[in-house]
Copies of this chain bind each other. A is one copy, B any other.
C-alpha cells in the first residue's frame, strides 16, 4: 500500500492538470471526449475510485445525503408498520435522486452529545413524528439546514410540513360509529407524550399532551360527538402506554372492565385496534357484534386481520415520498411548503350496528 491515489496521481499519469481530471468527472463537455476517455481509463488502471467524498463535501459544502430523525425507541421504529412504510417512501425517493439516507436515531435516555444527531454529514433533515420540545429536535434545528416536519410538531408556515387532516379523520371515524347507533364511546390511544403512562386519562394528564397528532385526533372524535348531539365530555380516554398491540390488548381489557357500557372503541392507530380486537376475544365480547372497533392508518395488516379492520386510511409510503421530495427541493433552493395528504374512511368488518 503506497500513498493514496488522488486526482493528482491520475493527472500526473495522464500528463494533464488536476483541474482537467476533476472536469472529466464533474463536467464532461468541458474537455475533449478523447482526453476524457484517456483520463477515465488511467483512473481505472490506477484504482482511483472517483473524487473523495470528504474533500468534495468540504469544498462544495454539499453532502449528498439527508438525515432522518427519530426519537422513538428503536425497537418501535423498526417494528411499527407506519414508521417502516414511511421510511420506505423516503428511501425510494432518496435512492431515485441519488441522495444518501442517514438514519439519526435519538432514542429516549441516550445522551446526544456524541451522537451523529447534530453533526451528521447531511444537507437537511426530515423529522418524523416527534413530541413538542424534544432536545434532539432542537439540536437539529440549531444547524439551520433545510428541514421537513412530518406529522408533528408543526412548526408553522415558515417550515415545511407533511401531514394529514387528523382532526377530520378522527371525526369521520367517530361519526361512522355514531351513525351505526353507538352512544357509549371510548378512545384507546398509545401515548399522549414521551412519558410512558397507561390507564384512564385524567383531565390533568390530557393537558400534558405533547404529541400534536393525538391531540388533534381526540379533538376530532369529540367534534363528531358534538356534531351529532352527544356530550363530548363523556368520551372515555385511555392510554395504552405505547403504540403496540400487546399493550393495547391489556389496556383494552382494563378499559372494558372498568367501562362495560362502551360499545364503540376508537383506536387512534391500527396497531392499537389489532390489540383491542384480541382483547375482545379475551373478555368474551365478539367484534363487531358485541364491540365495534375502528382503527386509524390502514396498515397493511388491517385488511387481512381477523376481523378486517374498519379504519381511516392514510398513505404512509406517499408521506415518506412527499417528505423526501419537499426536502430535496428545499435543498435545491425552493421555499418551504406544506403538503396535506388525503385520507379516507375504509369500512370493513370490525364495526357493526350497535346491538344493545
Contact = CB atoms under 8 A, between A and B. Distances in A.
Interface of A: 49-50, 52-55, 57-58, 61, 63-65, 74-75, 77-79, 84-85, 87-88, 91-92, 95-96, 98-105, 107, 110, 114-116, 118-121, 142-143, 300, 306
Looking at A95, A120, A306, which has the most chain B CB atoms within 10 Å of its CB? A95
B54 A63 contact: yes
Given A58-B55, A77-B88, A78-B88, A65 B105 contact: no
Given A49-B142, A53-B121, A63-B54, A115 B95 contact: yes
Contacts of A75: 88
Given A54-B54, A57-B54, A78-B87, A98 B114 contact: yes
Nearest 10 Cβ contacts at the A-B interface: A54-B57, A100-B116, A78-B88, A54-B58, A78-B84, A98-B114, A101-B103, A53-B121, A95-B105, A102-B102
Given A58-B54, A75-B88, A79-B300, A95 B121 contact: no
Contacts of A87: 78
Given A95-B74, A98-B116, A116-B98, A54 B121 contact: yes
A77 B92 CA distance: 11
A107 B95 contact: yes
